[in-house]
Structure 1
């Protein structure tokens, strides 16, 4: 009986020691992984679609931060202190190229971090002008900033990202090249799917509140009708003119952004009679958004 108690006590002590040892080992591994994660160099991008593409190229070698969170409106974006600190601590800032808030951001942080490298991800893309004014009244001179809403452009954006990564981290050029090839293969497959679905839709018109799909429309020969080039409340006269234009073009689809677009968009559609389709061109799940847009237009 005493031996049994002695055995049980020894067993319990041994088990407790083993559990404690495993706990310590797990804690060490977790801490090591956390430190490894924390020690990764940082790149900051402007929007979530950039983050999606860049993470495909850099894998786990870089931590990619994004200024614009999901659901935020780039027209009224004001960076938080956290965003500014992330950018100041970054090795590089990948700007989309023509989003209005980007220049203001650069002016704020570049003095504090003069070593911050700047890259324009839309370099080399043929820009569309005349779709936006942002209050300037010079619509014919304003480049449309939504270059990422095009699979064709996304290939160029990805290549620009790759070139920037080789500049930042030449030792891992081969790794980035392999990842770029895989990404371009994915983009080619996406392009083939969308092009096949829209092959007989050339000339088809669709309506948007803010003209965010100009490059998508160009790729597939579509007509984009925007209710508000500035993304603000439109005058009654201007709105009615656009409604009449949409009806004349027999537009069957109206795209809207639930958390951003004015209620005027849905009111206008009561006259147009198009199918309302909620989209988010700023979503991280960029590829799914492109398919969602194409699917709505292919019906």
Structure 2
């Protein structure tokens, strides 16, 4: 009887220890998933959602949205989400909507570029160019404030329990965007009317915001450009005294590298699809200002 009295506390202690061990090794409760289309969107949404949701991207950094073809796995992963915040005008998004509705008819889907005044004529679709909306709406600070507002509204519908948390984050982010836009306006004000060259026409909205001219050397499909057309672009750039050439090293045609080596311009590698949207947009503005300023100094 005495032995049982001594064994019982040991059993209780061992059971308690197993309970603690199980609690420590059990997987943490998974956060709800919200899916976006591209990496810059992930950055923007995370400024609003903080640690309340897991934000996933359909296209990993380094993939080309112009040629992206979603697989069945992409669709299945998307259906695990509590919401899909699409960019709005990227071609592959429209291509998957019917499939997503078929797999997950109740999945809330939001167009985060709703309300952005579109730029047209920079991209083509089926041979038509003038009516096609430029999809790069996120390459504009002013646009991003609209996009962030759409994201906030979407999250209050998807996850109303955290709406006040999202509101506070959104308001802080919106104020930061206003400060960033003011800084870029001041930085680029002396360069209004000037032109820059870019291989892929990804900075149309940025150019519109700050009174600049974007001269695309390549095309939206990133296909080889006829030599005659390339010469016309070079002549046009020379007429406008272009001093900077933006290109995307990992995505652009090999012609972009060749063209850059032939031009007497500053060659700057950019990545509009980078996760750190704020860093990228600031770097583009800084490059334009620095190149233009150094050119003016050298003339004196």
Give the TM interval when normalised to the shorter protein: 0.7 to 0.9
Distance across 2 between alignment mates of 1:283 and 1:30: 35
Name the counterpart of 1:298: 289
Q: So what's the TM-score if we normalise by structure 1?
A: 0.87
For residue 80 of structure 1, report the CA deviation from its aligned partner.
Answer: 4.0
SS of corresponding position for 2:119: coil
1:179 aligns with 2:169: yes
Name the counterpart of 2:260: 269
**Among 28, 32, 38, the residue aligned to 1:35:** 28
Offset from partner CA, 1:224-253 (integer Å, 9 cap, x none): 000123322111111111111111111111
| Structure 1 vs Structure 2 CA RMSD | 2.0
SS of corresponding position for 2:285: helix
| Range moving further from structure 2, 161-170 or 212-221 | 161-170
1:73 aligns with 2:64: yes
Structure 1's consecutive aligned runs of 4 or more residues displaced over 3 angstroms after TM superposition are 23-27
Offset from partner CA, 1:21-56 (integer Å, 9 cap, x none): 6x985773463xx422x2x22111000111101111
SS of corresponding position for 2:253: coil
SS of corresponding position for 2:197: strand
In the superposition, relative to structure 1, how do residues 160 and 41 fare at CA in structure 2: closer, same or farther (>3 Å)?
Answer: same
Name the counterpart of 1:153: 143
User: How many residues get paired?
Assistant: 276
Name the counterpart of 1:104: 95
For residue 270 of structure 1, report the CA deviation from its aligned partner.
Answer: 3.4
For residue 58 of structure 1, report the CA deviation from its aligned partner.
Answer: 1.1
**Among 131, 135, 155, the residue aligned to 1:165:** 155
In the superposition, relative to structure 1, how do residues 108 and 208 fare at CA in structure 2: closer, same or farther (>3 Å)?
Answer: same
Name the counterpart of 1:200: 190
Distance across 1 between alignment mates of 2:25 and 2:232: 61
In the superposition, relative to structure 1, how do residues 242 and 61 fare at CA in structure 2: closer, same or farther (>3 Å)?
Answer: same
1:229 aligns with 2:230: no
1:133 aligns with 2:139: no
In the superposition, relative to structure 1, how do residues 252 and 113 fare at CA in structure 2: closer, same or farther (>3 Å)?
Answer: same
1:60 aligns with 2:55: no
Maintained 8 Å contact 1:247/1:272 = no
User: What residue ranges of structure 2 are gaps of 5+ in the alignment?
Assistant: 1-12, 291-300
Distance across 2 between alignment mates of 1:165 and 1:196: 33
Maintained 8 Å contact 2:36/2:58 = yes
SS of corresponding position for 2:69: coil
Maintained 8 Å contact 1:65/1:86 = no
| Range moving further from structure 2, 226-235 or 60-69 | 226-235
SS of corresponding position for 1:140: coil
For residue 157 of structure 1, report the CA deviation from its aligned partner.
Answer: 0.2
In the superposition, relative to structure 1, how do residues 250 and 61 fare at CA in structure 2: closer, same or farther (>3 Å)?
Answer: same
User: What residue ranges of structure 1 are gaps of 5+ in the alignment?
Assistant: 1-16
Maintained 8 Å contact 2:70/2:92 = no
Q: So what's the TM-score if we normalise by structure 2?
A: 0.87
In the superposition, relative to structure 1, how do residues 226 and 170 fare at CA in structure 2: closer, same or farther (>3 Å)?
Answer: same
Name the counterpart of 1:88: 79
